[in-house]
Amino acid sequence: MRLNQDRAIREISSSTARFVATSEWLQRSSQRGLFSWLKGGKGRKRRANEHPAAAPEWPAKPQVEEDDFAWLEAAEGEQEARPYIDAENRYTKTVMKDSRPIQQLLYEEMADRVEPEDTVPEEIDGYLYYVRFVEDGQFPVYCRRKADSSNAPEEILVDQNKEAMNHPYICINLLKVSSDNRMLAFTMDTTGGDSFSVHVKDLKTGARLKSDTIPNVVSVEWADDGKTLFYTVPDHLKRPYKLYRHVLGTPINQDELLYEEHDHAFFLHVDRTKDKKFITVMSNAKTTSEVRVIPSNQPTASPVLIHPREPGLEYYIDHRGDDFLIITNVGNQMKDYAIMRVAEKDVGNGREHWQTVLSPSPGTQIEDVDVFSSHIICVFIYSYERSMGLPQVRVFNLENQEVHLVPLPEALCTLHPGGNGVKSHDGTGIPLTLVHKKGLPLSSDNPTLMLGYGAYGQPLEADFRAHHLPLLNRGWVIALAHVRGGGELGREWYRQGCQLNKHNSFHDFVACAEHLVSSGYTSPSRLVAKGSSAGGLLIGAAVNMRPDLFRAVIMGVPFLNPLAAMTNESLPLTIHEYDEWGNPNTDEEVYNYIKSYDPYINLSQPNLRHGRYPSMLVTTSTLDNRVPFWSPAKYVAKLRALQRAEAPHGEEQANGDANDGEAERVVLLKVSDSTGHGGEGGRYNNLKEVAFDHAFLFKSLNMQ
């Protein structure tokens, strides 16, 4: 049972794979490894006039709101921008040319330590399902074998490496096996633009049923009969909104439409309960949800509504016995989730029939839930009660209400609580997680990487990230700023950082950066920051507030012009995002509020005079359906124009001072034409991106 399945739709990574046999089985992307890393120190000083190339200059065309670069948003904007996109990529390649040796060395050391690995098998309906990687393989191989014998032969469901041989890009997202274990349905994108098709494979014969390939599908699920598929399709704005039923062997154009979601704020998703008894049809907005069900053994039945949508009411269901189990925030739209149940016979008769099963204590939130025949397993996150910084896993007996605390493995690190958090502008304590080598002395010379996100109620997890090892082994400090807008401290923490409270996120991040400097962990000349998508918005706004506080930043597929996006309802996701940012089309207060923090709009010469902007690496993709390429492209174009206007004698302000020993300050735009919002597919391709980012940070701090 997944919480708020759609709240981070902008952030869903296309590198994850979901593998489902009887219900949803999530397999996390295996791009991990234990790596050995570089050692080294500072390099030579670079002279200010040693800039290797001239940065591209985009044409200014004054339009509405005095936006010189709004022309990029037009339908023909990408075509007209093509020469400048190509020039930006050439410029980035030229500037980063001298870092190629370190990029290659980093990549090779990471790749050498990537070993073939298998996931832990999970038994479902007499089969053990697992994912494995082959040596030097970019992508996973999805497998199963019969569970009744240790010598049972392996069955390969899909080998993504073989599928990738015929396509420059590939992503396999959903894999679902029919109840009789005979048929496999999986979704695959070969465009990089999140355009998935359903492919059906007969697991007994190995044949692909080409006549049953369904294009442009978002979610898919089997009925009990092993021949009926339910699937959802998107509209022209990529919003899944229609549910169809398909019977194998029949023409796709004759598939029956079962339900259409007319509210543009809601996304439609189809799944199945873990006990396989019901197909679930979920309509999800950011803060409101609604669920219908179809008995799995009655595929021709019409969907039955569990409870009609109410603004601010979220609920998600599973099933056991004769009851539906419900995770919900019932009673308060910002209350943390509780678990309730309702008998099948009382479905549709009102919430007064919902009975509380488990309600967390204040300061506690349910992170995840799994349902079994007589128990449920809950993962709890405690605001101030974590044991060694780990969440708690509890088993709740549904028959006698007894609770068992699952002992977790011994911690692999030592955590030192640091008081009540960093004080933000309004006195709120902001959690700040610091990771560094044991015994690292406090020093203003410590290179420090700040990470932030702060949106959609999505927590910035302090988990193990192998790609940070090259930094940690060189004496870096990694700082995770758990700003408001995320989900670290529950729904109220999220509420304090969204809509008309969004400024809190930016103040929180700046306060954490200032704390790192004032506490002696680092200095502005050694402090860098990184954020992606909505995290890129966080970084962009923080840099506008304090451009002098950071030496370099990386913004990946960043949401840097939210006012333009949120006032354009022809863009994918805009209407769906109103619950997150507000609706500037109907509310003048919201319009002015978004305008007040929009990173693109608030680039200005007065800000440049306040302090030199840091070096920047901004990445985007022309195939990105969530954050269009023009958002970061406009930002870079405007920043360059302002820097040229502000610098003496028309010279770009990006250069370092001739005698200060620091590296040049550059603004780089890296544009992909082959990947979407989730970046490169394949674990080795991903390592190349990591190596490039690290090399940019080393270069920005003049480190070899």
Residue 694, Cβ density class (10 Å: 0-12 exposed, 13-18 middle, ≥19 buried): buried
Question: By C-alpha distance, which of 105, 12, 144, 151 is closest to 626?
Answer: 12
pLDDT of residue 490: 80
Question: Could you tell me if 501 and 623 lie in one domain?
Answer: yes
How many C-beta neighbours within 10 Å does residue 373 have?
Answer: 9
Question: Could you tell me if 99 and 245 lie in one domain?
Answer: no
pLDDT of residue 346: 93
- What's the average model confidence in pLDDT over 147-166? 91
The rounded distance, in Å, linking the Cα atoms of 512 and 122 is 42
Quick: pLDDT tens for 68-108: 898 888 866 678 888 899 999 999 999 999 999 999 887 88
Give 362's contacts (C-beta < 8 A, 6+ positions apart). Answer: none
The phi and psi torsions of 423 (rounded to 5 degrees) equal -75, 125
Question: Could you tell me if 668 and 555 lie in one domain?
Answer: yes
Quick: pLDDT tens for 105-118: 878 877 777 766 77
Tell me how many domains the chain contains.
Answer: 2
- What's the average model confidence in pLDDT over 146-152? 88
Assess if residue 46 is contained within a domain. Answer: no
Assess if residue 316 is contained within a domain. Answer: yes
Assess if residue 601 is contained within a domain. Answer: yes
Give 665's contacts (C-beta < 8 A, 6+ positions apart). Answer: 612, 613, 614, 615, 653, 654, 655, 656, 700
pLDDT of residue 78: 75
- What's the average model confidence in pLDDT over 137-151? 90
Answer yes or no: is pLDDT of 548 > 60.
Answer: yes
The rounded distance, in Å, linking the Cα atoms of 166 and 542 is 43
Answer yes or no: is pLDDT of 611 > 70.
Answer: no
- What's the average model confidence in pLDDT over 566-576? 90
Which structural domain, as residue segments, surrounds residue 676? 71-112+418-644+662-701
- What's the average model confidence in pLDDT over 382-387? 50
Question: By C-alpha distance, which of 433, 487, 481 is closest to 455?
Answer: 487
Question: Could you tell me if 91 and 162 lie in one domain?
Answer: no
Q: Give the type of residue at 128.
A: L
Assess if residue 296 is contained within a domain. Answer: yes
Question: Could you tell me if 220 and 326 lie in one domain?
Answer: yes
Q: Are 449 and 467 in contact (CB under 8 A)?
A: no
pLDDT of residue 25: 27
| 3-class SS of residue 40 | coil
Question: Could you tell me if 154 and 227 lie in one domain?
Answer: yes
Residue 680: band (very low, low, confident or very high) from pLDDT cuts 50, 70, 90: low
Question: Could you tell me if 143 and 97 lie in one domain?
Answer: no
Answer yes or no: is pLDDT of 542 > 90.
Answer: yes
Q: Which of 154-168, 460-474, 559-573 has the lowest mean pLDDT?
A: 460-474
Question: Could you tell me if 285 and 431 lie in one domain?
Answer: no
Strands 122-124 and 26-27: unpaired
Q: Are 520 and 526 in contact (CB under 8 A)?
A: no
pLDDT of residue 678: 66
Mean pLDDT of the chain: 84
Answer yes or no: is pLDDT of 347 > 80.
Answer: yes
Q: Where is 434: in which H helix or E strand?
A: strand 432-435
Answer yes or no: is pLDDT of 50 > 70.
Answer: no
Assess if residue 441 is contained within a domain. Answer: yes
Q: What is the 3-state secondary structure (H, E, C) of 660-701?
A: CCCCCCCEEEEEECCCCCCCCCCHHHHHHHHHHHHHHHHHHC
- What's the average model confidence in pLDDT over 633-649? 84
Question: By C-alpha distance, which of 140, 101, 96 is closest to 117?
Answer: 140
pLDDT of residue 378: 87
Answer yes or no: is pLDDT of 45 > 70.
Answer: no
pLDDT of residue 382: 64
Answer yes or no: is pLDDT of 480 > 80.
Answer: yes
Which residue has tokens 């807008």? 485
Q: Give the type of residue at 670.
A: K
pLDDT of residue 390: 59
Share of the chain above pLDDT 90, in %: 56
pLDDT of residue 39: 23
Answer yes or no: is pLDDT of 695 > 90.
Answer: yes
pLDDT of residue 31: 28
Give 63's contacts (C-beta < 8 A, 6+ positions apart). Answer: 70, 71
Answer yes or no: is pLDDT of 415 > 80.
Answer: no
The rounded distance, in Å, linking the Cα atoms of 205 and 247 is 19
pLDDT of residue 420: 61
pLDDT of residue 648: 58
Question: Could you tell me if 186 and 335 lie in one domain?
Answer: yes
Q: Give the type of residue at 162.
A: K
Q: Which of 20-29, 87-96, 427-436, 628-637 has the lowest mean pLDDT?
A: 20-29
Dihedral angle, C-alpha 633, 636, 638, 642, nearest 10 °: -170
Q: What CATH number should be reported for the domain holding residue 600? A: 3.40.50.1820
How many C-beta neighbours within 10 Å does residue 119 have?
Answer: 17
Quick: pLDDT tens for 583-610: 999 999 999 999 999 999 999 877 676 6
pLDDT of residue 417: 59
Q: What's the token pair of residue 262?
A: 């007319």
Q: What CATH number should be reported for the domain holding residue 168? A: 2.130.10.120
Identify the domain boundary among 328, 361, 394.
361
Answer yes or no: is pLDDT of 32 > 60.
Answer: no
Share of the chain above pLDDT 70, in %: 83
Answer yes or no: is pLDDT of 26 > 50.
Answer: no
The full DSSP string for 592-624 is HHHHHH-TTTT--HHHHHHSPPPEEEEEEETT-
Assess if residue 407 is contained within a domain. Answer: no
Identify the domain boundary among 320, 346, 361.
361
Question: Could you tell me if 439 and 308 lie in one domain?
Answer: no
Q: Which of 32-36, 149-153, 506-510, 679-683 has the lowest mean pLDDT?
A: 32-36
Quick: pLDDT tens for 187-230: 999 988 888 999 999 999 999 999 999 999 999 999 999 999 99
Q: Where is 641: in which H helix or E strand?
A: helix 630-646
pLDDT of residue 299: 96
Q: Are 35 and 345 in contact (CB under 8 A)?
A: no
- What's the average model confidence in pLDDT over 361-385? 77
Assess if residue 56 is contained within a domain. Answer: no
pLDDT of residue 303: 95
Residue 239: band (very low, low, confident or very high) from pLDDT cuts 50, 70, 90: very high
Question: Could you tell me if 284 and 211 lie in one domain?
Answer: yes
Question: Could you tell me if 593 and 681 lie in one domain?
Answer: yes
Q: Please state the pTM of the whole predicted model.
A: 0.83
Q: Any alpha helices (H) in 458-561, and if so which ranges? A: 469-472, 491-495, 503-518, 534-545
Identify the domain boundary among 361, 378, 408.
361
pLDDT of residue 332: 53
Assess if residue 373 is contained within a domain. Answer: no
